[in-house]
Amino acid sequence: MDLFVYGTLLSPDLMAAIAGPGPLVARPAALPGFAVHPIRDNVVPFIKSDSAAMADGVVWCDLTSAQKARLDTYEGAFGYVLKPVTVSAEGQDMPCHCYMPPEDIRGADGVWSLQEWEKTQLAPAVLAAEELFSHDPLPDHANLRRMWPMIEMRAWAKHRAQAAPARLRRTAAPDDVQIVGASPPQGAFYRLQALQLQHRRFAGDHSPVLAREAFMGADAAMVLPYDPVRGMVAVLEQFRVGPAARHDPNPWMLEPIAGIVDARETPAEAAIREVREEAGLEIVELKPAGRYYPSPGGSTDYFYAFVGLCDLPETSGYLGGLPEEAEDLRIHILPLEKAMALAETGEIATGPLLHLLYWLALHRDRFGAAAGT
């Protein structure tokens, strides 16, 4: 099959990640009668009929049936349909196919640029494609459409990962960890994946091949709202399935406000959004309070912690959350000292809230804490 593309699939790296094994030969081409436009509230383009326009692109030539099947999975999940077209390639008409967008796509003003997209979007797009095609069997279109936001979130978490200081611990070299095998990931929302790996030992040699399982989570932002004038904090209470599955007699947990960092969103943006959605509060200023792996022995979860300076309402508590996300939340507003006492008794038993409370107790003088707190 010969395939005309005009958008992100112009990138050889993304095309290779999606099409999979096999040769990829590109031929410059243009599709008359169509124009390329940005999609509203998105980072990818689409083509729209325009008798006076010409959509520039390339034709990927002689794609195999296996490559076509992978492309059908990737494009079909979002309503794109493969249709025959005739392009102009090096001055000659060339029959081929093109994935045409669904009719309900809304365009935006401006010009879409592959070069600008590649600067910020290519690397996580390749990571997302790699996760998608690690599944066996591949998801159908409906399931992939449902799974895609989390696939993108995990891809952006990998893209966001940076090395922290290593003054005491080992400074890792590229070949210190070798993944020698991986099973297809399992799970509908989160992922569990079995890995076979080796790592360099402190003696200098490599370990034997180890069989491990990793919970493939995402980056999250954690926020403790703090009113420095009144010395009050806001903590969230909600039911949690983890304690319930552990047979905890009381699975209602006290936690900071928290949420997953969306694709193309910074942790700070996620923190402000979650505080607004879950507690109806407006943060005046965010104070970074550390970042960490809560359970590095078997999870990729990574938390960005913040104290959010704000004006807390004159109440002891209220209900919060988004009904459309089935959130059943209660917000407690209490003095920092009372929250610290709950940490001492064990009523606060979640690591992120303990971390933020102790961090705030250590640093609150920097924020103009209320007298007597």
- Residue 339 scores a pLDDT above 60: yes
Q: How far apart are CA 179 and CA 32, in angstroms?
A: 47
pLDDT of residue 369: 58
Contact at 8 Å (CB) between 29 and 87?
yes
Calculate the average pLDDT of the chain: 94
Alpha-carbon torsion (147, 153, 154, 155), positive or negative: positive
In a 10 Å sphere around its CB, with 0-12 CB exposed, 13-18 middle and 19+ buried, how is residue 23 labelled?
Answer: exposed
Q: 82-103 pLDDT, tens per residue?
A: 999 999 998 899 999 999 999 9
Of these residues, 103, 314, 324, 325, which one is catalytic? 325
365: Cβ contacts below 8 Å, ≥ 6 apart: none
User: With contact defined as beta carbons under 8 Å apart, do 149 and 263 qualify?
Assistant: yes
For a pLDDT cut of 70, what percent of the chain falls above it?
A: 98
Convert the pLDDT of each residue in 179-202 to its tens digit: 999 999 998 778 899 999 999 999
- The CA-based diameter of the chain, rounded to the nearest angstrom, is 82
CA dist 282 → 123, 292, 309, 320 (Å): 33, 25, 9, 14
Amino acid at 231: G
CA distance 89 to 102: 25
pTM for the model stands at: 0.91
Instruction: Assign 3-class secondary structure to the chain.
Output: CCEEECCHHHCHHHHHHHHCCCCCEEEEEEEEEEEEEEECCCCCEEEEEEEEEEEEEEEEECCCHHHHHHHHHHHHCCCCEEEEEEEEECCEEEEEEEEECCCCCCECCCCCCHHHHHHHHHHHHHHHHHHHCCCCCCCCHHHHHHHHHHHHHHHHHHHHCCCCCCCCCCCCCCCCEEEEEECCCECCCCEEEEEEEEEECCCCCECCCEEEEEEECCEEEEEEEEECCCCEEEEEEEECHHHHHCCCCCCEEEECEEEECCCCCCHHHHHHHHHHHHHCCCCCEEEEEEEECCCCCCECCEEEEEEEECCCCCCCEEEECCHHHCCCEEEEEEEHHHHHHHHHHCCCCCHHHHHHHHHHHHHHHHHCCCCCC
Q: Does the structure show a pLDDT above 80 at 278?
A: yes
The confidence score (pLDDT) of residue 72 equals: 97
> What is the mean predicted confidence (pLDDT) over 205-219?
94
201: left (phi over 0), alpha (psi -120 to 50) or beta: beta
Confidence band of 256 (pLDDT split at 50, 70, 90): very high
Residue at 87: amino acid letter: V
Task: Please name which of 150, 129, 125, 123 lies closest in space to residue 67, comparing C-alpha atoms.
Answer: 129
Q: Is 37 within 8 Å of 112 (Cβ atoms)?
A: yes
Q: Is 236 within 8 Å of 279 (Cβ atoms)?
A: yes
- Residues 253 and 81: their CA atoms lie apart, in Å, by 47
119-136 pLDDT tens trace: 999 999 999 999 999 999
How far apart CA 228 and CA 366 sit, in angstroms, is 10
Catalytic residue list contains 103: no
pLDDT for the residue 370: 53
| Contact in structure between 259 and 273 (CB atoms under 8 Å) | yes
Q: What is the percent of the chain with per-residue pLDDT over 90, rounded to a whole number?
A: 91
371 falls in which pLDDT band (50, 70, 90)?
very low
Which tokens go with 230?
A: 């009144």
Nearest to 222 by CA among 161, 283, 322, 307: 307
